[in-house]
Structure 1
């Protein structure tokens, strides 16, 4: 058995229902076990590329910020916003964006159609979980984008087409209102000001709310010590339960799976044995290693201790995406002539903001990404899963392994 383990929570998930006006099915009539999503060869290739991108950008952000801070990103949100933008790129700029997205060998057309089909599947797979995804493209009155570009975003990403003026002082407020409305109020005041050269914004917003399949009883939650980076400790509300969970007791860590709803969406938590083990574990957090660990999980009785946590995170991604291969898109050499032939365009920055709250009932999370475009089987001993120190998290959908949220909890009390 392993005590006092640093947690790494992997939150992989999917997308939202945009229209929920149909008659609600009683819970007792809904499936109680995961439903398999059938994937085409192209969809499998897209998910593999998305997951490679997810782990790469998560490690880049964690290394840039330091693993001693709370972090959350939605790789799906970032990837979706950049994939929409990709349709406006051409030449070496498009190639560079495909490299950064880890989608070499997949055409923009294949990316668009796979996103459309996969999103529809993810949105309907578990009616016990609420997910929404919204996209929009905001055009400034100084340019006229090609209709083919707007049509692609509307047809494949269900993107709303809106207009703004850089001289309108209320423009940031209108954009922020759209983001807040499409994240259930969790992402606020994302845009404080727009650069004078801004002529287009491409935005993705994701919202997720899932109740634990096996909920924690609030009466069992006690104040317990959580060991922060550096050796200091704080008292936090620690949720507790004992039940059968899938887990893998690895070399220097424990990986456990905590399902939402009927079980299609889960939170995977990686708990290093050492209290300061997150930084050591991060380099091994790749798509291949996680897939291998997941395949070795088995159901076993587990004593679970997880802190409540609630926090937000904001990051400008220009430098990180440059390091990942798409630096040309941020320079005067950028080619976005599939948006408009003139004037020449570049990406000013890619802004990402996310929020998560996990408690006895489940998890509520949201994220938004803004691409700002400017001119130029044997019985086992009961397992102890004690997340009383920093951890990494991911939310995913189990049959596709699509990743939505990833983060690090360094201090559950810091919002």
Structure 2
């Protein structure tokens, strides 16, 4: 969305920095693709709630180009608010909006809004779903060791079920696929001890396709910690490392947003919150029957225990789009 109002090198850096080759993908095609994704995500059912949206907060005095406003509304269904009279009031209003849209999960996103701030562009997404095969809370261990630089005790969920599961010998990791009810799936990736770099660096659409094709559905004993984590990133330190530099200094060219005023990006913040529990999101009934107790003479199942750092990916199946990507080093870091 920022690229819609950027010009010259600023525009090129934004689009190339997030991975687009402008000789292969025209800018208009990039925006049409995102328009399609945003509209595809606007689905809700009793099992899956997936929402994405944007809002533009601007000062009344800022005279925006009508073409920019038209494009952000038409392509991204962006709301526009001009109630930006003073910085503290604007900060409160923006944070209230984000908290409401994320059902209370993301709070106080904007902190210390500067008096010179003329425009704030907020993007939010919200994902909430039930497991297709939920865990039974009765089988959750209240205190299980999770190993790391500083070992912690975590609630550990447990079940024996049929899941798509396999080993990737090339990347030295185990991969478990768990489906949500609805059109989403989670991949849990457990690297060999001390081998996180290999799967982390190999993550790509091709790697995901390889896992999807090679995993085999089988009975497997699964231990997954209940997760409640939150992470914040100051993107003004991250994006320049990706090549998006001019947007943050005096070289910035956002004349596609306004010609009368000079704009540059002063702050870019990203916050993600993830909760993983037995039922996924809501209470699930009759899960006890899905737990199989093993005896000494019973069949043996492969066991996967996520009791050390692992990767977690949540994918929207209909669009093959990654909704969430995280590395869990401490499941209790909220």
Indicate whether 1:258 and 2:178 are aligned. yes
1:109-258 equivalences under 5 Å are: 109-124=28-43, 128-165=47-84, 167-230=86-149, 232-251=150-169, 252-258=172-178
Question: Aligned partners of 2:56 and 2:312: how far apart in 1?
Answer: 30
Structure 1 residue aligned with 2:289? none
Indicate whether 1:94 and 2:11 are aligned. yes
Q: What are structure 2's unaligned runs of at least 5 residues?
A: 283-298
Query: Matched residue of 1:255: which SS?
Result: strand
Displacement of 1:187: 0.7
The runs of 4+ residues in structure 1 deviating greater than 6 Å are none
Query: Matched residue of 1:98: which SS?
Result: helix
Indicate whether 1:327 and 2:239 are aligned. no
Q: What are structure 1's unaligned runs of at least 5 residues?
A: 1-83, 365-379
Displacement of 1:166: 6.0
Question: Aligned partners of 1:410 and 1:359: how far apart in 2?
Answer: 17
Query: Matched residue of 1:86: which SS?
Result: helix
Structure 2 residue aligned with 1:288? 206
Displacement of 1:120: 2.6
Indicate whether 1:411 and 2:330 are aligned. yes
Query: Matched residue of 2:118: which SS?
Result: strand
Indicate whether 1:303 and 2:226 are aligned. no
Question: Aligned partners of 1:354 and 1:243: how far apart in 2?
Answer: 30
Query: Matched residue of 1:136: which SS?
Result: strand
- Which sits farther off after the overlay, 395-404 or 309-318? 395-404
1:42-61 equivalences under 5 Å are: none
Distance of aligned partners of 1:97 and 1:383 in 2 relative to their CA distance in 1, 3 Å threshold: same
Contact 1:146–1:340 (CA under 8 A) maintained in structure 2:
yes
Structure 2 residue aligned with 1:85? 2
Question: Aligned partners of 1:216 and 1:259: how far apart in 2?
Answer: 13
Distance of aligned partners of 1:305 and 1:189 in 2 relative to their CA distance in 1, 3 Å threshold: same
1:352-371 equivalences under 5 Å are: 352-363=270-281
Q: CA RMSD in A?
A: 2.1
Contact 1:269–1:394 (CA under 8 A) maintained in structure 2:
yes
Displacement of 1:127: 5.7
Displacement of 1:138: 0.9
Query: Matched residue of 2:73: which SS?
Result: helix
Distance of aligned partners of 1:286 and 1:112 in 2 relative to their CA distance in 1, 3 Å threshold: closer
- Which sits farther off after the overlay, 297-306 or 115-124? 115-124
Question: Aligned partners of 1:361 and 1:117: how far apart in 2?
Answer: 30
Query: Matched residue of 2:61: which SS?
Result: coil
Structure 1 residue aligned with 2:232? 314
Displacement of 1:146: 0.8
Query: Matched residue of 2:14: which SS?
Result: helix
Question: Aligned partners of 1:397 and 1:168: how far apart in 2?
Answer: 37
Question: Aligned partners of 1:144 and 1:305: how far apart in 2?
Answer: 56
Distance of aligned partners of 1:99 and 1:381 in 2 relative to their CA distance in 1, 3 Å threshold: farther
Question: Aligned partners of 1:299 and 1:357: how far apart in 2?
Answer: 25
Distance of aligned partners of 1:409 and 1:217 in 2 relative to their CA distance in 1, 3 Å threshold: same
Which structure has more relative contact order (CA 8 Å, sep 6+)? It is: 1
Structure 2 residue aligned with 1:388? 307
Distance of aligned partners of 1:254 and 1:125 in 2 relative to their CA distance in 1, 3 Å threshold: farther
Question: Aligned partners of 2:87 and 2:49: how far apart in 1?
Answer: 35
Aligned residues: 314
Displacement of 1:220: 1.0
- Which sits farther off after the overlay, 391-400 or 107-116? 107-116
Contact 2:43–2:50 (CA under 8 A) maintained in structure 1:
no
Indicate whether 1:336 and 2:254 are aligned. yes
Larger Rg: 2
